Structure 1
């Protein structure tokens, strides 16, 4: 703190805004689809464990809802 700078203080490298936008878009897509998959997994587990659907019924629920989710979230 006691240093006295006589020249301009560097604030970092120049921002690459195009790359920043691509990274942010990828983050949003991963968040959106990841949330959808976790919700679908929970619904499939409910169908598989708490109903008479069993393992195969839960798997069918997971596959159908995952396909519907991917189509609807595009």
Structure 2
């Protein structure tokens, strides 16, 4: 590995039912609280209003990109 590069981690949450966004946000906030930089990529099918987005905006180590039929990219 070149100097300056650090090992990253990718986690994928998918499937039917509830809990995927909650699990991803929980892990993301936990990691950012420990000083890690987090990028969450979310593919939306329905409602684009999530209150958690405001908390992410207030956290400089946590970024989110949302994609779906209703929006281009945030």
- Structure 1 or 2, whichever has the larger Rg, is 1
Provide the TM-score with structure 1 as the length reference.
0.26
Structure in which a larger fraction of residues adopt strand: 2
Provide the TM-score with structure 2 as the length reference.
0.26
Structure in which a larger fraction of residues adopt helix: 1
